[in-house]
Structure 1
Amino acid sequence: MTIIRKLIFSPETLTLPRPLPAPQALREDENIVWTRYDGLDALRHIQAFRSHDKPINSVYRMCEFICVDAPNQLMIETEYFLYRTTWRLEEIPNPDDDHPERRALLAATIESLVDAFNEKHSFGITREGAVVAQQVCPRWVEEVPAIDRLLDLVAEHEECFDSDHQRTDPYTRRNIRAHSGTIFNF
């Protein structure tokens, strides 16, 4: 089915295609993401897509971009979320995702978004010109535990930035090693 037909007949399948892949599957085959989100840059500007999109779908997309180490797409998706002025992080409902790695990745990403948005807010950056209150995490995020084994989303030959910040980093606390700093670079 072409993107145009999906946009007309089932736009919700474009905002978050199902089934959801496991993070490690994405890391092993990044083409999965590009197949899932073919034309996403253009779709973000189309009202039919935007009206069916949800905050949690955007966060899932961010997680998938983290898995395949696509910093430009992560930055664009973060900015897309920021400028959806009616979307509040604290209002993202619990997706009840039964995959522990995906759930931990979601929670860490939401925590990072809260930190990033609050940092931008402290610098006076607004959402589409509207000053917004400090962001907070949804309650369910606090209840998401670390996963049992390390989820390493960084290639063996790549370096991952190490610092004192790592001890408090939401990904590190949940036993995830990932390039996620782009969340702060929008």
Structure 2
Amino acid sequence: MVDAPPPIHLHFRDTAPPPRNSPPSQSPTPVSHPRMASEDLTNMRSVPIWRARDTPIRSMYRLYEAMAAGEYYAIGPEVEYFWYQRSWILSRLPDPRDYDPVRYAILASIAEELAKAFNWQLSLGMRRDKRKHIYRKTLEDVLPPYTPETAPSWTKHVPPIDLELIADLPDALDSSGRLVLEAGGKSPAFAERNIVTDSGHFYTV
């Protein structure tokens, strides 16, 4: 078994995206704030006013924070929470226009992985409205077709991480100079942007 790398020190701002008028960044900067503990997030999700004020962008940043901190156990609950927010249309997820190029690349890959994970759930008969889950009596029963989820269009324009920007993070790079969030990871959506990680945590039922 390959040991997991230490947490990657990338900049983030709690669970809120950075302001769009922030100055451009040429390199990732150190973590400045600890992320909210998973047990605290679980409690907050049960508060109606917190859920009412929450946004899909904030949820996506929480997924980013969990990955950057190496807390992959927090991804499944967050993905499930996003899934059941029926008003959060993934294809309409606004472009965060994050000024940190490394973080922006990770966010784009997260959005694309969410689309794949959601389609996997739909293929199993799950629906974003819990009342409309489709259950098969036997494995031979054919599930009805579904409208697939798609990633927001802005992800197509987010480039891979420039390896020169992360060259000063030797403990977090593989032999090709790519950013390693999870050793041995093989997620294509992340690999396209020079990020090594697995994505099994996104697939939850």
- TM-score, length of structure 2 as denominator length: 0.68
Question: What is the aligned partner in structure 2 of residue 146 from structure 1?
Answer: 160
Q: Secondary structure at the match of 2:35?
A: helix
CA positional deviation for 1:72: 2.1
User: Which structure 2 residue ranges, 5 or more long, are not aligned?
Assistant: 1-12, 20-26, 134-145, 164-177
Q: What do the CA deviations read for 1:90-121 (whole angstroms, capped 9, x no partner)?
A: 01111111111111001100100000000110
Q: Which one has a larger percent helix, Structure 1 or Structure 2?
A: 1
The residue correspondences of 1:1-186 to structure 2 (distance < 5 A) are 16=16, 25-26=30-31, 32-34=34-36, 39-127=40-128, 128-130=130-132, 133-149=147-163, 150-154=178-182, 159-162=183-186, 166=187, 169-186=188-205
Q: Which has the larger radius of gyration?
A: 2
CA 1:170–1:64 in structure 2 vs 1: closer, same or farther (change >3 Å)?
Answer: same
Q: CA RMSD in A?
A: 2.9
Q: Secondary structure at the match of 2:154?
A: helix
CA positional deviation for 1:140: 0.4
- TM-score, length of structure 1 as denominator length: 0.74
Q: How far apart, CA to CA, are the structure 2 residues paired with 1:171 and 1:67?
A: 13
Aligned length: 160
CA 1:141–1:38 in structure 2 vs 1: closer, same or farther (change >3 Å)?
Answer: same
Amino acid at match of 1:142: K
User: Which structure 1 residue ranges, 5 or more long, are not aligned?
Assistant: 1-12
Q: Secondary structure at the match of 1:137?
A: coil
- Regions of 4+ moved over 4 Å: none
Q: How far apart, CA to CA, are the structure 2 residues paired with 1:14 and 1:67?
A: 12
Query: In the alignment, is the contact (CA less than 8 A) between 2:161 and 2:193 conserved in 1?
Result: yes
Question: What is the aligned partner in structure 1 of residue 3 from structure 2?
Answer: none
Fraction of identical pairs, as percent: 31
Q: Secondary structure at the match of 2:86?
A: coil
